[in-house]
Structure 1
């Protein structure tokens, strides 16, 4: 008797043969379906944002496991970890002085674990760090984000410096993963723990983006008005969408490699 083929592999093979427009159409449909599903299944949509931060923390734990087990930081971007620590530190400060809540605790845990990852890469495993692959200039992100934060920030009653810092961490978070994606694009091959970490970031970004979109829809646009006046409200939503789309390609190839049973993930050129 002929061996039965895996339906998921058949579907993945069919999808892979489709033109880009068809793939994009199905990706949009899948995204809309997921948003609708989340909207009706999750009663308190604020939990989506908490879940996003928790998944980010889990992703960092995966990195710590990789570093302690394999004793190598090959394939990891030190620059992404530094940018992550920067926006987390700024967001933690803003959280303490502006809105102390559960997010403050999650950001504290994530910042501490990120700092440990940076210390381990920079001091303990420096010999395995591939600096030639981690070649995306961070000032290309930090400086534009700082300028944008000065120009476009919340119009709340808080201190002007705190409002600018709040905007800065929102903008920087949306692009902080770019150096990590560049490392993986340069290497073309992504080992399992690194791919799990980046996929966790992708899931976290999608949940965070879903939180904002659903909140805006449920409030019929009132949430954007509540965030302040001017360009700041749409910029918050745009930043969330940018983060999601930056990681969309990677998440597609991650799922594809899992469906095909690949132990090592391979990226084609042009994913970033």
Structure 2
């Protein structure tokens, strides 16, 4: 048996090798995902620019699939925000209410006929599954003491109301009319607004969690990055298409607002993106500055 001193010398090296293997595996999964998206594009797309919307939907599905797989691999839910999962379930539900009833907000691309719907439904199912297992199988490992966004003035478990209520009010007052249907137009807009802030509890939890001392677990970081990357793809599409969104009076301001919410989302995740890319470049665990504020 190795002496304690020898073990102490080898242990950090072994840990670093494990981290390198995890990141290499994560990158391999990304390569597999990009290959899958290329095949979807080749088989089910007619090359329209709006395929970016389908690409974004597939990326969200990928992100939640990674998170669910991670829970079962690690057999715990440490470092995962239940509030963010709740928000994303609420993001997908109104979006599906809209896109399953009308076609105004679907990609013009052929992939919008089926693939886009399937990806959004699967994303909701995966997010709901993650949430279900956090309430059941992995309940004991949930770090509720760190998942405290919005706990000022409200019970902690109701903290997401600080995001939900303003989004509902804003969606009712300011929404485009591509479907010429109040419910469909409002629910689609609500999903866009809520997605902007859905990730905030997770980012807040990263900063609050003293247990991992600023280190974000590999698969969790890949999952969160996937959700952010999906928003980047959406933003690119709407950057060239926001002028198609107008309210009942014909004003294009609502289109600019939808686009602005996506820029805000990317800005919110700016620090996370930076440190994620640093971790990919160095092959080391993702380190977040303890004192930095990401929200």
| TM-score normalised to structure 1 length | 0.77
Q: State the match for 1:209 in structure 2.
A: 235
In the alignment, structure 2 segments of 5+ residues that lack a partner are 1-46, 107-112, 150-158
**Which residue of structure 2 lines up, in the alignment, with residue 126 of structure 1?**
139
Match of 2:48 in 1: 44
Compute the RMSD of aligned alpha carbons. Answer: 2.1
Checking the alignment, whether the CA contact within 8 Å between 2:175 and 2:247 is kept in structure 1 is no
Residue 91 in structure 1 maps to residue 86 in structure 2: no
Q: Which residue of 2 aligns with 1:107?
A: 120
Q: Deviations over 1:201-259 (max 9, x none)?
A: 1211111111111345xxxx5x3459983332111111221222221220111011222
Q: Extract structure 1 runs of 4+ deviating beyond 4 A.
A: 224-228
- Judged with a 3 Å threshold, the aligned counterparts in structure 2 of structure 1 residues 105 and 228 are, in CA distance, closer, same or farther, namely farther
Q: Structure 1 unaligned runs (5+)? A: 1-42
User: What is the SS of the residue equivalent to 2:148?
Assistant: coil
1:78 pairs with 2:82: yes
Provide the residue aligned with 2:24 in structure 1: none
User: Measured at CA, do residues 228 and 254 of structure 1 come closer, stay the same or move farther in structure 2, by a change above 3 Å?
Assistant: farther
| 2:187 is equivalent to residue 165 of structure 1 | yes
Matched ranges for 1:114-263 at <5 A: 114-136=127-149, 137-156=159-178, 158-187=180-209, 188-215=214-241, 221=243, 223-224=244-245, 229-230=250-251, 231-263=253-285
2:284, 2:174 → 1: CA distance?
A: 44
Q: Count matched residues.
A: 226
Residue pair 1:212, 1:237 contacting (<8 A) in 2 also: yes
Cα 1:267–1:59 shift into 2, 3 Å: farther
Q: 1:72 to 1:239 in 2, by over 3 A?
A: same
- Say which is worse superposed, 257-266 or 190-199, in terms of deviation: 257-266
Question: Partners of 2:48 and 2:177 in 1: how far apart?
Answer: 27
